[in-house]
Structure formats: C-alpha cells, structure tokens
Amino acid sequence: MKNIKVLGSGCKNCETTANLIQIAAKQAGTEIELEKITDIAVIMGYGVMSTPGVVIDGQVVHAGGLPGPDKIRQWVSE
C-alpha cells in the first residue's frame, strides 16, 4: 500500500489533486492511504514552497500546480 500525502491549504487545486489521485488509484486497482496535510509547518518541513505538493512514501514527487493525468497514473502504478 502506498502512503500518499497531498500538501496544501485546502485550495481548489489541492482538493482536485487529491481527487485525481483517488480516481487513478481506483482505476489502477492500487491500494493507497491518502492524507491531506494543511499544516504549513509540516508542509515547509518537506521543503515544499508552492502547493499542491505530493509526497509518496516519504518522497516529494511534485510541487506547485495540478499534476498531469499521466504523471498521476505513473505514481499509483509504480
């Protein structure tokens, strides 16, 4: 099971990113644990300066703007 964190203030892009990850994981048949992190101190602890940020199994894989669908599918299928 992958642990995926979406880092952000809860803005529209952050919510959309979380929803797209859930949809892609379901389509791929991949079990994920999805967390939404809104605490600025925690987000800064990952070194993310622009949101949404995405952390998979402790590694930052994206920061700033909506990730593309191909990138999201790659994350959940790896």
Q: Are 20 and 72 in contact (CB under 8 A)?
A: yes
Cα–Cα distances in Å, from 65 out to 1, 20, 30, 31? 25, 13, 24, 25
31 is annotated as an active-site residue: no
64 sits in the region (left: phi over 0; alpha: psi -120 to 50; else beta) called left
List the catalytic residue out of 3, 9, 10, 11.
Answer: 11
Query: Hey, which residues does 32 pair with through a beta bridge?
Result: 2
15 is annotated as an active-site residue: no
List the catalytic residue out of 14, 24, 48, 55.
Answer: 14
Catalytic residues: 11, 14
